[in-house]
Amino acid sequence: MTIRRNAQDNVRVAAAWVVERTLSSLAPVDSFLHTVLERYDDRDQGLLREIVFGTLRWLRRIDHVIEAAANRKLTAIEAPLHGVLRVAVYQLLFLDRVPGHAAVNEAVEQAHCLSHRGAASFVNAVLRRIARQPKLEEWPVQEADEARRLAIEMSHPEMLVRKWLDRFGKARTLSMLEANNQPKPLQLLAFRHRGGRELLAEGLIDEGLDVEPSDLSPLGLTVRRGNPLVTRSFERGDFYIQDEISQVAALLRLPRAGERILDVAAAPGGKGFALRAWEPEIRLVMGDLSPARLAVLRANLHRLKLQVPILLADAGEPPWVPRGDFDRVILDLPCSGTGTLRKNPEIRWRLSEKELGRLCDLGLRLLLGSAQAVTPGGLLVAITCSVEAEENEGVIDRFLDQRADFGLLPLEEEVRGNLREFIEAPGRWRILPGGDHDGFTVHVLRRRADSK
C-alpha cells in the first residue's frame, strides 16, 4: 500500500535530513536549512524551523527518552534512524499542533525507505511507546550527579553545565539553561538619522507586524509577530537584524562625530552598523580576512545605503602597522558562542576543551594585532558572544601581560542607566543569556596617552 505524503509529511523528512546533516558536520544549521526552506510556503517554513531548532535544542533529552523507550543505547540503533526518531520524538513531546499518529506514521515510512522492514517495525514500537506517555515528566532522568542530571534534563553539554554551576551557582545556571531552550525573537537595529526606532516601528506596524522597543538597546525593536524580511522597510534598508545586546556591546561608550573607528573582523557588519546607527558622522573603516564574508558585508552596506571603506586584512597581521590611526578599534573575538546557544543550538554539541583553547590562542593573536591600530589615548574594545572566562578575562589578562601600554577602562562613567548593573569589574561588562537577548562579554581597554 502506498502512503500518500502531504506537505507537512515532507517537512518532517526535510527536518530529519537537516538535523542529521548539521550534527554530522561543522556547518551552521542555517547552511542546510536554507537549501530546503524555499520548497515550502510560509506556514510550512515555520513548522520546519520549529522542528529543526527544537530538536537541536532538546537533543540530549530526546536521546534519553529514545534510549529509555528502546531499552538500548542510541549507539546500538542504526545511524540512519537517528534523525527519524529524534524529529518524531520532538513532535510527540513538544508540539501540540502535530497529531501524534501523523508523526509516528511518517517516521515509520521514512524508516522503511532508509533501512528495512525490521527497522520500520522497531521505529513503530519505540514511537508508539512514547506516544502513550507524551510528557517529559513521564520519562524522568535518574542521575545522582547534579551536573549530569541537569545536562540531560535541560539538554546541554555536561562540561558546560559543570563550569556554569561552579562559576554562577545553581540559580543563575538554571536561568541560563531555561533561556537557551526558548525560541528567540528577532530584534532589529534602527538608525537615528532615519527617524530612530519610533519611525521604524510605525512603518512596520502599518505593514502588519507587531513590534515593541527592546529593553536594553536604545536603537532596538523586538518583533513579536510577522516577518520583517518581506517588508518594504527591509527593502529600503531601514533596519538591520541584530540582537539587542550585540547593539549594546558596540555602544557601551557612545561614539562621537568625527571619531576614527576601525571595526576589524567586521563581517557581516553588525557592530559597525550599530555605531553608524547612533552617530552617522563617525569616520568608520571595516575590515575582514574572508573575501566571502566581505561579500556579505558589501551586500549589507548596499541594502542599508551606507558608504564605508572596506579592507581585506588579517586583524592579526594588520596593514596599518606600525602607526596607530584610530581612536577606537572594535574586535569581535573568535569564541565558542556560548551566549548564543538559544539561536545557534547546534553549537552545544561541538564544544570541547581543545576547541576552547584554540579559540583563546587565536583571540590573543587578533587582539595583539588589532592593538597596533589604536592611537595613544584611544580605545580597544574586545567583544565576544561567549560567557566563558577562558575566552574573555583569560585572553585579556594574557594580552595585558604583553602590552603594558594598555589598561582596563573603568566603565561606571561610560555606561548608561540600567546597563551599569552588568559591570563585573573594571573594564569588563557581561550579561548572561535571558529575556529576549543573548549573552555577551565586553572588555574596554585604553592605550596610555604617553605611549609610543
- The crossing angle, in degrees rounded to 10, of helices 42-57 and 82-94 is 100
Residue 366 and residue 265 in contact, taking contact as beta carbons nearer than 8 Å: yes
Cell output for 155:
539538554
DSSP reduced 3-state for 199: helix
Give the burial class of 303: count Cβ atoms within 10 A of its Cβ; 0-12 exposed, 13-18 middle, 19 or more buried. Answer: middle
CA 200/CA 192 separation, integer angstroms: 10
Residue 443 and residue 397 in contact, taking contact as beta carbons nearer than 8 Å: no
Q: How many CB atoms lie within 10 A of CB 24?
A: 11
How many Cα atoms occupy the beta-carbon half-sphere of 321 within 13 Å? 10
Residue 412 and residue 420 in contact, taking contact as beta carbons nearer than 8 Å: yes
Provide the H-helix boundaries in 115-253: 117-131, 146-153, 158-180, 196-206, 232-236, 244-250
Q: Tell me phi and psi for residue 40, to 5 degrees.
A: -120, 160
Cell 601581560, residue? Answer: 401
Please indicate whether residue 385 is annotated as part of the active site.
yes
Q: H-helix or E-strand containing 114?
A: helix 100-114
Work out the angle at residue 420's Cα, subtended by the Cα atoms of residues 416 and 423, and round it to the nearest 5 degrees: 135
Instruction: Select which of 113, 335, 360, 385 is catalytic.
Output: 385
Sign of CA dihedral 291, 334, 415, 449: negative
Question: Would you please indicate which residues are annotated as catalytic (active-site) residues?
Answer: 385
